[in-house]
Structures are given as C-alpha cells and as structure tokens.
C-alpha cells in the first residue's frame, strides 16, 4: 500500500486507486469520507503522472473547493515531497460548477453570443434585480400581497432549471402563488430583459449557457478534449 493512501479504509482506498479507464460513481452517506476519498483520488492521479492542468475538479461550494485544494496539496506533499508544490499549483481547473462555468464561457463568449465582459449576479444581487423589476411593474403595490422577491426568484430558478412550464411549477410547488401566474410571466420576462440590458448572468444562466455550449458538437468536443479526468464532488446537489 502506498503511504499517502494509508489513512483510508478499504472501500475508500479502492475508490481512490480505481483504474482510470472508465467512470466511477461513489455512493455514500454523510460523514463517510466522500470528500477525503475524492481528494486522495485527485492526488493519486497526480502521483501516477497525470498532468494536473488536464484534471477538472468540480465542487458545489467555494468552501468545498478551497478545502479540496488544501487536502490534495497535503496528500501530494506526503507522496512527492519537494515536487508537490509545482504539481498542485498546476491544478488550475478546480472550483465550483459556477466558477468553472464562468471561466469557460468567458473564453468562448463571442462564439456563443455573449459579451466576455459580462458580470455575475449572486443570489442576493439577482433577488434585488427581480425586486426592482417587480416594483417597476407595480406588483409591489398590489391590493393583495404579491410574492416577495425571494419567492419570485425561487420560482424563476425552478422553472429555468427544470425546464418546466410555469403553471406546472406553481401547481406542484407554489400553489399559493398560482393566482399570480400572469403577473409572474411578465415579471420573469422583465427580469430577463433587465439582465440582457445590464450584460448580467445569474447563477442559473452560468449553468444553462454552459450546458448549451457543451451541447454544440464542436465546442463540446473541444472543451471535453482539454481534460483527461473529470471529478465531481456532491454530484446530486446539481
């Protein structure tokens, strides 16, 4: 057994050292060491000679991405000593789905109809913008209380991510908002127009534009060809 895998249990070690000639799915509950296993797997690739610049490591949160990078650096350090710093520094494609998506989109923006100088709105920014449109349309002054900005954004996000019809989402998840279907349609159209005017992408846009870009045969093949290994933490969250 190699020393840098010694802290793992048998199943974790099997996953970390799994042959790289095919996909691997690890299903495990909370607290079972999924992140540690993934960090050791990344380190194992590097120790075996993989080019760190051709490893794509995706996580769901920035904190998880930072923690993963620290773990990989420590593990590779145990295995490679003085060579570890250069190897882990080259692990340049490690981050959240949204951060990696934004980086890839900026690179190919002109080819997919985007201005590469686009700005990114987090959830707070997006809620504020949708609230501004909500106010401009007069929905904040209705006699009966219109859904608040957070609820409006949540509905919009679910419609976009599930690629579902608004009426179906309202019936299934937000039945108390169903009476506002027509107004919500106007709100969402206004929100999209406002984003386009301001050259803004929200978190949903980052994933949707990336998915659209990757569905193009040429762009998808070229992007995929940049990486030899793709590792995803917390796959079910996305």
Burial label, 194 (beta-carbon count in 10 A; 0-12, 13-18, 19+):
middle
3-class DSSP state of 165: coil
Return the half-sphere exposure (C-beta side, CA atoms, 13 A cut-off) of residue 142.
14
Contact predicate 129/195, CB 8 Å: yes
The percent of residues in the chain predicted with pLDDT above 70, rounded, is: 94
Burial label, 31 (beta-carbon count in 10 A; 0-12, 13-18, 19+):
exposed
Contact predicate 59/234, CB 8 Å: yes
Per-residue pLDDT, 238: 43
Token pair of 216 as six digits: 């193009």
Span 196-203, mean pLDDT? Answer: 96
Per-residue pLDDT, 208: 92
pTM: 0.84
- Mean pLDDT of all residues in the chain? 89
Containing 192, the helix (H) or strand (E) segment is helix 181-198
Instruction: Identify any residues that bridge with 95 across adjacent strands, giving them in sequence order.
Output: 58
Q: Which residue has the tokens 């949708």?
A: 130
Per-residue pLDDT, 85: 65
Q: Which residue has the tokens 């009966």?
A: 144
pLDDT for 48 beyond 90:
no
Per-residue pLDDT, 31: 83
CA separation for the pair 233, 64 (Å, rounded): 9
Over residues 49-90, the pLDDT tens digits come to 889 899 999 988 888 888 888 888 888 877 776 666 666 667
């Amino acid at each position: 057994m190699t020393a840098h895998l010694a802290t793992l249990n048998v199943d974790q070690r099997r996953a970390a050292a799994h042959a790289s000639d095919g996909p691997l799915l690890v299903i495990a509950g909370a607290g079972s060491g999924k992140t540690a296993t993934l960090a050791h797997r990344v380190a194992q690739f590097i120790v075996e000679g993989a080019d760190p610049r051709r490893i794509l490591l995706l996580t769901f949160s920035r904190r998880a991405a930072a923690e993963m990078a620290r773990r990989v650096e420590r593990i590779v350090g145990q295995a490679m000593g003085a060579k570890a710093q250069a190897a882990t520094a080259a692990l340049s494609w490690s981050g959240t789905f949204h951060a990696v998506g934004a980086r890839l989109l900026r690179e190919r923006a002109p080819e997919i109809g985007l201005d590469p100088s686009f700005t990114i709105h987090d959830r707070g920014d997006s809620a504020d913008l949708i609230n501004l449109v909500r106010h401009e349309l007069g929905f904040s002054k209705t006699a009966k209380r219109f859904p608040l900005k957070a609820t409006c954004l949540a509905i919009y996000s679910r419609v976009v991510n599930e690629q579902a019809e608004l009426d179906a989402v309202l019936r299934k998840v937000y039945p108390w908002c169903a009476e506002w279907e027509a107004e919500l349609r106007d709100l969402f159209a206004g929100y999209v127009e406002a984003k386009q005017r301001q050259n803004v992408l929200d978190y949903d846009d980052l994933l949707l534009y990336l998915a659209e870009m990757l569905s193009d045969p040429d762009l998808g093949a070229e992007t995929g060809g940049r990486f030899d290994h793709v590792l995803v933490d917390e796959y079910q969250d996305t």
